[in-house]
Amino acid sequence: MDSYFITVIIAGVIAGASTGMLGAFIIGLRMPFIGTCISHASMAGFIWGGLLSFNNPTLWPITTSLGGIVASIISALSLATIREDKTRLDKNVGLAIIFCFMLGITFLGLGLNQGSRTDMLGLLWGNILFVNTTRTITIAVLAVLLVLFVVLFNKEMKVLLFSRSIAAATGVHESFVYSIFLTLCGIILAVNMPLIGGLMIFSLITCPAAAAYQICKGYVPVVITSACFGMLSTLAGFFISYYLNLPTGACIVIVSVVIFALTTLYKHISGQND
């Protein structure tokens, strides 16, 4: 195994852990579709960032990354403005509308693009060739930021997951904390997406967290187990794809679904009660 693959594994494991951890909150907030929405926003930003580089190879990596992050943050924060109790708009319907808009912007950018579309389409499925030391460090720094956020805003996030109405009515600064969470969510998903893929990231948000919710009791165990399951999904997925010469993204997705299936089975067989 060469050193490049080790870098890929490290990046993948950290990305899996941070996406899994994010998933614990996203599933708790009952908005799993956010992963697909933000990853498409990121893709739109990536494509338009590429267009704005005017085929300058020095500018290209900077404009594409910035474009992806900015578009993700904008789409994530658009969600913060949707208050179900005020607008009577379900947050998942809001997500779907932002998703459709981002999809339109993405394909408009693709249509305007004169050069190769391989890199851009690679964002859909993920490509380990996007991994380099700089991106690995970025992914690691963001993972540390996420852990810090979870520790510092632990008590507020618990109430937010339980009920935004209770949080708002009883004086928790829920809009502030929710906006920070969504911003972090946007940045992490945008940075992790080229590695995992816009379509695959959805499974890493949903499956590890759903599996953790099946077998855990209490907030902290859910968050930690979800991160561990995310890490396990990417690690096992990478090894299976490496040794069996199979597509990496697909292996990660399948492993994450298998983990969910096993936890459900375990809960059923063990008769585990709360």
Near other proteins by CB under 8 A: residue from 216, 231, 236, 252: 216
Q: According to the binding rule CB under 8 A, does residue 148 interact with other proteins?
A: no
Which CB sits closer to other proteins, 55 or 170? 170
- Binding segment for other proteins (CB under 8 A), chosen from 93-101, 154-162, 226-234, 236-244, is 154-162
Q: According to the binding rule CB under 8 A, does residue 270 interact with other proteins?
A: no
- Binding segment for other proteins (CB under 8 A), chosen from 100-108, 120-128, 170-178, 188-196, is 170-178
Q: According to the binding rule CB under 8 A, does residue 30 interact with other proteins?
A: yes
167 with 13: CB under 8 angstroms? no
- Quote the Cα angle for 81-87-88, to 5°: 130
Q: According to the binding rule CB under 8 A, does residue 155 interact with other proteins?
A: yes
Beta carbon of residue 213, minimum distance to other proteins (angstroms, whole number): 6
Residue that has been written with the tokens 């890199």 in this structure:
119
Q: According to the binding rule CB under 8 A, does residue 152 interact with other proteins?
A: yes
Which CB sits closer to other proteins, 118 or 217? 217
**End-to-end C-alpha distance for the chain, whole angstroms:** 44
Q: According to the binding rule CB under 8 A, does residue 163 interact with other proteins?
A: yes
Q: Distance between CA 217 and CA 212 in Å, rounded?
A: 9
Q: According to the binding rule CB under 8 A, does residue 272 interact with other proteins?
A: no
Near other proteins by CB under 8 A: residue from 1, 2, 54, 85: 85
Q: According to the binding rule CB under 8 A, does residue 162 interact with other proteins?
A: yes
Q: According to the binding rule CB under 8 A, does residue 2 interact with other proteins?
A: no
Q: According to the binding rule CB under 8 A, does residue 170 interact with other proteins?
A: yes
Which CB sits closer to other proteins, 220 or 265? 220
Q: Distance between CA 38 and CA 99 in Å, rounded?
A: 8
Q: Distance between CA 94 and CA 98 in Å, rounded?
A: 6
E-assigned strand segments in 13-78:
none
DSSP string, 149-197: HHHHTHHHHHHHHH-HHHHHHTT--HHHHHHHHHHHHHHHHHHHHHHH-
Q: According to the binding rule CB under 8 A, does residue 161 interact with other proteins?
A: yes
Q: How far is residue 186 from each of residues 31, 182, 264, measured CA to CA in Å?
A: 14, 6, 30
Q: According to the binding rule CB under 8 A, does residue 87 interact with other proteins?
A: no
Q: According to the binding rule CB under 8 A, does residue 166 interact with other proteins?
A: yes
- Binding segment for other proteins (CB under 8 A), chosen from 33-41, 57-65, 130-138, 166-174, is 166-174
Which CB sits closer to other proteins, 8 or 228? 228
Q: According to the binding rule CB under 8 A, does residue 81 interact with other proteins?
A: no
Six token digits for residue 81:
């403005």
Residue among 150, 163, 151 at smallest CA distance from 29: 163
Burial classification of residue 78, based on how many CB atoms lie within 10 Å of its CB (0-12 exposed, 13-18 middle, 19 or more buried)? middle
Burial classification of residue 88, based on how many CB atoms lie within 10 Å of its CB (0-12 exposed, 13-18 middle, 19 or more buried)? exposed
Give the interface with other proteins as residue ranges (CB under 8 A).
28, 30, 85-86, 152-156, 158-159, 161-163, 165-173, 175-177, 213, 216-219, 222, 273-274
